[in-house]
Structure 1
Amino acid sequence: MELLHRYTKDGLNLVGAYWEPKEKKACVVFTHGMFDNVIENNFIELIGENLSKEGYGFIFGHNRGYGVINSIIVRDPVTKKAGNKIIGSTYEKFGESIYDVDLWIETAKELGYKKIILASHSFGCLKNLYYLSKKGIEIIDGLILISAPDTAGLVGRREESKKMFLEAEQNIKAGNSKKIMEGKMLNIFPISSRTFYTFRKGSILDIFPLVEKPKSFGIFSDINKPILVILGEKDSVIVDTPEKDLEELKKRAIGTNDFSSKLIYGASHKYIKKERELSFTIVEWMKDRY
């Protein structure tokens, strides 16, 4: 595994972990979820090692939402003057994630890959879907969604969210958009007002509406490339039951004639102690198609 240091188009210095294969059949570009990073992720190393053994490249690219609160080197794209920016999942702006996904896709191209499969876990799935909605589906050759959440829907159906959205809105109107909320994300992590406010229905991240199940399912239904959806039996993002959720997504994947899903029994959202099954599922799906 090699660490890659790259700058996004808006000047952030991000780190990517790259597993290089002997041959370059295709590259899986992975977008992580909230609060995640390459050091503390429990399954990413196994996936990278197993994919590279089969001739596939693997890039786990940090995005500006890695960790809780972090200081990232930022360089002005014009003047090249360097400084630091405090971001992390606590402060990130969802719309800016497009720069991060684009960085690692372009890196894969620079490394010589002709086929790119865009993969993600948790909140990263929404970032990848948003990216495709803006940049176009033709950029990729396949899509892997691991524990994809309807964040806006799930947050919206929690009673305490009404009070939190009101608090966030008041802080933003008062010019305190970076003010930390009194309540915590997932009852654990601090979250800024501006970041939490994007979790409301109708925002730009309301892009995977599994809770409300509207007639139009958005970009997910437009994807005309092979899709693999993976869900843990005990996942925290489940809307109805894991079986019903996967069946609903199969019905919504009307743009592709190659939809696959895998329910990993006993698995939680982080797939602890189920890493090998998760890795095997991805590797075998790749070997069947690329």
Structure 2
Amino acid sequence: MPLELVRVTTGDGLRLDGSLRRSDAPADGGLVDAALLVHGTGSNFYGSTLMDAIESRLVGRGIAVLRINTRGHDGISTSATMSGGVRQGAAYEVLSDCRHDLAAWIAFLIEQGFSRLLLAGHSLGALKACYAMSEEPHDAVRAVAAVSPPWLSHARFLQSAKGAVFAETYALAKTLVAAGRGEELMQIEFPLPYLVSARAYLDKYHRDETYNVLALLPRIRAPLLAVFGGQEIQQNVAFRELPQAMEQLAAAQALPIEVGVIAGADHFYASARDELAARIDRWLRKQ
């Protein structure tokens, strides 16, 4: 199972890197012949042991796996362009730009001869997969696996136990952007602790709720699996009640969505990675 280091240039001119592992196992003729795996906030194509487990499972049944960087890879990074380096990473990314990244990687897989794709992401990567397929659906994407997509809801965050902290941080970000200091970095604590620019914070958590996953799901044509960890649902407002809300939405609108919860699993599925990979595998076989 040779590993190839690969590279694409997005439609708006950013260079992104990834790895492609082709399978030596005979293809089983199932729903997909390749999978595109999207990292979460501040991660990258090579650092996730969670993605290692998913990759191993899929390659073992004859599915090639492409692990990718988006422009939001790592905390802060520099992306190469024709006009020089551009600051990117989780601290600076505008989430809607993910559609350029995923479109480039989908085109790459098609150029490699694959035609039936699974688009799978973890955490913010899962939300990126949902957003991209809701905005720019692609016929080659036959299935979407969203592992712990966060519920980015301005209203819910305000109503949470950390609502006052969120309101204060949001107000600070608005003040900085209004003063022309949108690229200034803030060390935030909610909804997760990380370093982020004021502009990027407003983009993700704006009151317009552009990235509210429940608003995205009805526009996704491909069948979708959503998986959550039991611990994260209990401990994090970004996931609390989301599995039930997804199930209710799917039932009300007859959407091809399956929702699962792995009891006891945390956000990174530290003790349940094999179970997570097996669940994705079983779901694909049912489609």
Corresponding position: 1:162 with 2:167: yes
Q: Which residue of 1 aligns with 2:69?
A: 62
Corresponding position: 1:247 with 2:248: no
Q: Which amino acid is 1:228 matched to?
A: L
Once residues 200 and 6 of structure 1 are traced to their aligned partners in structure 2, the CA distance between those partners, rounded to angstroms, is 30
Once residues 288 and 278 of structure 1 are traced to their aligned partners in structure 2, the CA distance between those partners, rounded to angstroms, is 16
Q: Which structure features the higher share of helix residues?
A: 2
TM-score, normalised via structure 2 length: 0.86
- Contact kept? 1:35, 1:67, Cα under 8 Å: yes
Of 155, 176, 183, the match for 1:178? 183
Task: Describe the SS at the equivalent of 1:260.
Answer: strand
From the superposition, tell whether residues 20 and 279 of structure 1 become closer, same or farther in structure 2 (CA, over 3 Å): same
Q: Which residue of 2 aligns with 1:213?
A: none
TM-score, normalised via structure 1 length: 0.85
Indicate the RMSD between aligned Cα atoms, in angstroms: 2.4
- Contact kept? 1:69, 1:89, Cα under 8 Å: yes
Once residues 21 and 32 of structure 1 are traced to their aligned partners in structure 2, the CA distance between those partners, rounded to angstroms, is 21
From the superposition, tell whether residues 173 and 259 of structure 1 become closer, same or farther in structure 2 (CA, over 3 Å): closer
Q: Residues 171-218 of structure 1, C-alpha deviation per residue, up to 9 Å, x if partnerless?
A: 11111110112534555321110011111221432x32xxxxxxxx43
Of 33, 44, 50, the match for 2:40? 33
Corresponding position: 1:134 with 2:140: no
Task: Describe the SS at the equivalent of 1:273.
Answer: coil
Task: Describe the SS at the equivalent of 2:35.
Answer: strand
- Contact kept? 1:65, 1:89, Cα under 8 Å: yes
Of 253, 269, 284, the match for 1:271? 269
Seq. identity, %: 21
For residue 245 of structure 1, report the CA deviation from its aligned partner. Answer: 3.4
Corresponding position: 1:123 with 2:130: no
For residue 21 of structure 1, report the CA deviation from its aligned partner. Answer: 1.8
Q: Which amino acid is 1:281 matched to?
A: R
Corresponding position: 1:233 with 2:230: yes
From the superposition, tell whether residues 40 and 240 of structure 1 become closer, same or farther in structure 2 (CA, over 3 Å): closer
- Contact kept? 2:14, 2:80, Cα under 8 Å: yes
Of 5, 11, 14, the match for 1:3? 5
Which shifted more, 67-76 or 182-191? 182-191
Aligned residues: 273
Q: Which residue of 2 aligns with 1:17?
A: 19
Q: Which residue of 2 aligns with 1:283?
A: 281
From the superposition, tell whether residues 253 and 223 of structure 1 become closer, same or farther in structure 2 (CA, over 3 Å): farther
Q: Which residue of 2 aligns with 1:80?
A: none
Q: Which residue of 1 aligns with 2:215?
A: 218
Q: Residues 117-156 of structure 1, C-alpha deviation per residue, up to 9 Å, x if partnerless?
A: 2211111222222212221364521111100111234544
Q: Which residue of 2 aligns with 1:88?
A: 89
Q: Which residue of 1 aligns with 2:197?
A: 192
Task: Describe the SS at the equivalent of 1:159.
Answer: helix
From the superposition, tell whether residues 185 and 87 of structure 1 become closer, same or farther in structure 2 (CA, over 3 Å): farther
Once residues 259 and 203 of structure 1 are traced to their aligned partners in structure 2, the CA distance between those partners, rounded to angstroms, is 21
Task: Describe the SS at the equivalent of 1:5.
Answer: strand
- Contact kept? 1:223, 1:256, Cα under 8 Å: no
- Contact kept? 2:116, 2:140, Cα under 8 Å: no
For residue 28 of structure 1, report the CA deviation from its aligned partner. Answer: 1.6
Q: Which amino acid is 2:66 matched to?
A: I
From the superposition, tell whether residues 240 and 98 of structure 1 become closer, same or farther in structure 2 (CA, over 3 Å): closer
From the superposition, tell whether residues 225 and 98 of structure 1 become closer, same or farther in structure 2 (CA, over 3 Å): closer
- Contact kept? 2:15, 2:79, Cα under 8 Å: yes
From the superposition, tell whether residues 257 and 98 of structure 1 become closer, same or farther in structure 2 (CA, over 3 Å): closer
